[in-house]
Amino acid sequence: MPISLRFRILPFAFLAAAFFAPLASSTAAGETRPAKPNIVFILCDDLGYGDLGVFFQNKGAGDRKPRVTMAGTPRLDSIAKAGVQLRGHYTGAPVCAPARASLLLGVHQGHANVRDNQFDKALEDNHTLASVLKQVGYHTGCIGKWGLQGGKSMPAHPLNRGFDEYFGYISHGAGHQHYPKEDGKKLYDGRDEVSEKYDLCYTTDLFTARAKKFIVDQHSERPDQPFFLYLAFDTPHAKTQLPSCAYPEGTGVKGGLQWLGTPGEMINTAHGKPDSWFHPDHAEATWRDPAKGGKTRPWPDTAKRYATMVRRIDDCVFDLAATLRDLGIDRNTLVVFSSDNGISKESYRKGKDENGYSRNLDPGFFRGYGPFDGIKRDCLEGGVRVGALAWWPGKIPAGRVVERASQFHDWMPTFCELAGVPAPARGDGVSIMPDLTGAGDRPDSTVYVEYSVNGNTPALPDFLASRRNAKRRQMQMIRSGDLVGVRYNVRDNNDDFEIYDVVKDPAQRKNLAPRMADLQQRMKDRVLQIHRPNESAPRPYMDQLPVPAATPPSGLAPGLALRVIPHAVPWPVAAAAAENVTPTVVSTPQAAEPPVATAHGLVFSGWLKVPEESTRTLSLPSGCKAVLKLHDATVLDTDRGAESGTIHLAAGLHPIFLSVSMTENSSAPVLMWSQNGGETSPIPADLFGHRPE
């Protein structure tokens, strides 16, 4: 029986509890389902950490409370309580395009080809979440905002980056408004522009309905094939537009949003008036305005709009989860929910509303930045700490809360582990499956952000006085355990990081740097050891600086540790694939055992001695598919066509990692280098060392 709107809104806790109650089995007897789990990754646009009820809105965090309670995510809260909250999860960058690039490529901003404000730049033609999962049997779909296509010819169209299906806004600018036809924005179905058919289609609804269709079609047409769906909402970003009507009754396969497929009525909410419907919980909401002596006043129009947009996302995600359950595939599907960066101050509306409020979005009204300082475009916690929710009935224990730090690039090895394959070596992440399931342990994530933008941090009253209107310019953030180093307007690598314990001090009030000289230097060294330059995003504070050497463990012996990895994937594998493999020792990479008659991987690790400070160009033979890292900087990626890599190294010892993908009977690699542009020769054996196990 359909649920009335009133009943659907009020006794929600009861419905949520019933919906997410554990199932004895959600798969019909005899029904085929894939052995590998389905994966759904949902990404919002500019949704603040503090906008989520379970993170902040319901009761606050630290010593900060919501200024005005939005109560806008009751359904996401129920999903969170049925799964895990990753409260220490970071985006790749504090603005959308580079953040999405880091997510899709599995690398942090020290390696991504899209950095700073490079909207619509072509995503690198390298391994993506989609291409890797497609290679191992997944059907892949991208729905929603892309913004990484690369000009009018769209060389980096999603269909060229591993996705089997695409539907959505392909350009960054289109995602600023949320009615494709009425706003004159280009909407793509595959490679075809189709906006003319999509009357009154509010994008949050449209993308959700299409996502439900993708899941239903996949279950019907390919039930034995796992799928990966990347659902990228363009809300609550930019213009604070409203839906045209109330959310449809019910949820799942037979209720909620439905794809109709008729031009002019493509979805079942394509009626009413564009930008007109406020959620009943927010339409007449009031607050006590301290600027008016505590007088009770209506919410600002923009606040009501923003809260309605967030509530719409809340309904949509719940509807999508209901679809998985109705189809009996929820217990074989991991759903992840996050945001691309912190809350924005953009609303694309001008002037004042009827009650005299500015129509700009005030990020402080609901305190969408939560317990932190900073918003979108800041490298403070409020700009880059986005959190994530993950739900997988029967696999993720209900009610888990994880504070440990992780970042967008960790999803690549996590999804690879789910798919049963080693992750590509060029990635920067670690699998966070132990965070999801509570079983086992994992290495620390490399949490790192670099970003440059003109402008200042907004002068919000909550923020530390010294941060209000502070220049941003070149910024960096790096985390070590519970400690975060952050620096703004960086001009030289000698500029100090401010250092904060963000677990005890999430608002970053007490700078610990004056008594942490050793950590200060380690952070300055570390950012040089994990970053690779990109000419399109210059970092003047890193120019011409040598990558510092590291202190090796005691007892180094000659040669490199070699692990042979049997695998069937066509890429050099990450170090995690070799963790449980007993090594042998070789004097140089080319001294590996004679080739074997099956495809395999060679993973070399150890230390490289650089006799003097110099610029070194490293290379491998033509046709060798390999990834070479010094420290954690990817110097060479011949897997995707690079012929050589150049790096400025300090004298001393540098950890080296070389992963090679070997085909049948191929020869062991010869690692070459040249100094300051001189003659190229094999690296001598006496410059390699390893720690015996």
SS3 content of the chain, % helix, strand, coil (to 5): 25, 25, 50
Give the H/E segment covering residue 282: helix 280-283
pLDDT band at 20 (very low <50, low <70, confident <90, very high): very low
Q: Are 297 and 285 in contact (CB under 8 A)?
A: no
- The CA distance from 72 to 53, in Å, is 7
For the chain, what percent of residues have pLDDT higher than 70?
94
Strand partners, 609: 653
Query: Residue 673, SS3?
Result: strand
Which among 285, 37, 39 has a CA at the least distance from the CA of 141?
39
Q: Which parts of 323-375 are beta strand (E)?
A: 333-339
Structure tokens at 112: 């991504």
Three-state DSSP class for residue 425: coil
The single-letter DSSP state of residue 57 is I
Q: What gap in Å lies between CA 323 and CA 529, rounded to an integer?
A: 45
CB 560 within 8 A of CB 605: yes
Q: Which of 181, 90, 156, 144 is nearest to 320 (CA)?
A: 144
Cα 227 to Cα 38: distance, rounded to the nearest angstrom: 5
**pLDDT surpassing 80 at residue 115:** yes
How far apart (Å, rounded) are the C-alpha atoms in residues 298 and 263? 39
Higher pLDDT, 35 or 255: 255
Indicate the pLDDT class of residue 13, thresholds 50, 70 and 90: very low
Reported as a single tens digit per residue, the pLDDT across 488-521 is 999 999 999 999 999 999 999 999 999 999 999 9
- The owner of tokens 């993908």 is 661
Q: 3-class SS at 208? A: helix
Model pTM score: 0.94
Residue 315 has pLDDT above 80, yes or no: yes
- The C-alpha atoms of residue 245 and residue 251 are separated, in whole angstroms, by 16
pLDDT interval class at 427 (50, 70, 90): very high
Integer Cα distance of 332 and 223 in angstroms: 12
* pLDDT tier at 26, thresholds 50, 70, 90: very low
Residue 466's φ and ψ, nearest 5 degrees, are: -70, -15
pLDDT for 664 beyond 90 = no
Residue 592: pLDDT band (50, 70, 90) is: confident
* Residue 278 pLDDT > 60: yes
The answer to whether 592 and 586 are in contact (CB under 8 A) is yes
Domain spanning 449-542: CATH 2.60.40: no
236 preceded by cis ω (within 30°)?
A: yes
Q: Which distant-in-sequence residues (6+ apart) come within 8 Å of 285 by Cβ?
A: 298, 299, 304, 307
3-state secondary structure 252-294: CCCCCCCEEEECCEEECCCCCCCCCCCCHHHHCCEEEEHHHCC
| 281 phi/psi in degrees, rounded to 5 | -70, -20
Contact (CB, 8 A) for 386 and 339 = yes
pLDDT confidence of residue 296: 96
Within its chain, how far is the Cα of 11 from the centroid? 34
Determine the pLDDT at residue 99.
98
What is the location of CATH 3.30.1120 in the chain? 449-542
Residue count of the chain, please give it.
Answer: 693
CATH architecture, domain defined by 37-448:
3-Layer(aba) Sandwich (3.40)
DSSP state of 220: H
Lowest-confidence region among 13-17, 43-47, 499-503 = 13-17
Q: Can you tell me the mean pLDDT for 189-209?
A: 98
Of 455, 372, 374, 443, residue with least CA distance to 414: 443
| Average pLDDT of the residues in 567-591 | 90
Paired residues of 336 in beta bridges: 41, 390
Question: Which H or E element spans position 41?
Answer: strand 38-44
User: How many Å apart are CA 546 and CA 647, to the nearest integer?
Assistant: 8
Report H helices in 121-180. 129-135
**Model confidence over 99-114: pLDDT tens digits?**
999 999 999 999 999 9
Q: How does DSSP assign 360-382, residue by residue?
A: S--TTTTTTTTTSS--TT--SHH
pLDDT band of 416, cuts 50, 70, 90: very high
Q: Which two tokens stand for residue 252?
A: 């799942």
Q: Which of 9-13, 190-194, 452-456, 538-542 has the lowest mean pLDDT?
A: 9-13
Nearest to 132 by CA among 332, 412, 336: 412
pLDDT at position 132 over 80: yes
Strands 483-487 and 471-480 come out as: antiparallel
C-alpha distances in angstroms, 678 versus 612, 614, 671, 674?
Answer: 15, 11, 16, 6
The whole-number pLDDT of residue 641 equals 79
Give the mean model confidence (pLDDT) for residues 38-56.
98
pLDDT score recorded for residue 33: 55
- 297 strand-pairing partners: 287
pLDDT of the residue at 600: 86
Strands 139-144 and 227-232: parallel
Measure the CA–CA gap between 164 and 409, rounded to whole angstroms.
22
> pLDDT at position 24, please?
30
Stretch(es) of the chain classified as CATH 3.40.720.10:
37-448
Alpha helices in 497-537 (DSSP H): 517-530
Q: What is the pLDDT of residues 234-252, one digit of tens each?
A: 999 999 999 999 999 999 9
Does the pLDDT of residue 6 top 80, yes or no?
no
Given a cut of 90, whether residue 69 has pLDDT beyond it is yes
- If you ran DSSP here, which 8-state letter would residue 50 be given? G
Which candidate, 327, 197, 214, places its Cα nearest to that of 261? 197
- State how far the Cα of 436 lies from the Cα of 487, in Å rounded to an integer: 31
Lowest model confidence (mean pLDDT) among 172-176, 448-452, 622-626, 680-684: 622-626
State residue 57 phi and psi, 5-degree precision. Answer: -60, -35
- Residues 578 and 660: their CA atoms lie apart, in Å, by 12
Rounded to a whole number of angstroms, the CA Rg of the chain reads 26
- Residue 365 to residue 386: CA distance in whole angstroms: 18
Share of the chain above pLDDT 90, in %: 87
Interatomic CA distance for residues 2 and 4, integer angstroms: 6
Which run of H or E residues covers position 563?
strand 560-566
Give the separation between CA 524 and CA 545, rounded to whole angstroms.
11
Predicted local distance difference test score (pLDDT) of residue 542: 85
216, 325 contact by CB (below 8 A): no
Burial 596-620 (b: 16+ CB within 10 A, else e): eeeebbbbbbbbbbbeeebebbbbb
pLDDT reading at 682 higher than 70: yes
Amino acid at 451: Y
Are 165 and 171 in contact, with CB atoms under 8 Å apart?
A: no
The dihedrals phi and psi of 86, each to the nearest 5 degrees, come to -95, 85
Contact status, residue 204 vs residue 145, Cβ threshold 8 Å: no
Q: What is the pLDDT of residues 390-403, one digit of tens each?
A: 999 999 999 999 99
Topology of domain 557-690 in CATH is Toxin - Anthrax Protective Antigen; domain 1 (3.90.182)
The count of C-alpha atoms lying within 13 angstroms of the C-alpha of 105, restricted to the half-sphere facing its C-beta, is: 26
Predicted local confidence at residue 594, as pLDDT: 67
pLDDT band at 570, cuts 50/70/90?
confident
Q: Which residues contact 130 (CB under 8 A, 6 or more apart)?
A: 104, 140, 142, 158, 161, 162, 163, 228, 230
Average pLDDT, the chain: 93
Statement: residue 7 has pLDDT above 50: no
> 71: pLDDT confidence band, cut at 50, 70 and 90?
confident
pLDDT in tens, 443-483: 999 999 999 999 999 999 999 999 999 999 999 999 999 99
CA distance 194 to 635: 42
Q: Helix count (H) and strand count (E) of the chain? A: 12, 32
With a cut of 60, say whether residue 158 has pLDDT above it.
Answer: yes
How far is the C-alpha of 241 from the C-alpha of 310, rounded, in Å?
11
Phi (first) and psi of residue 603, to 5 degrees = -120, 115
Range list of H helices, 168-252: 203-221
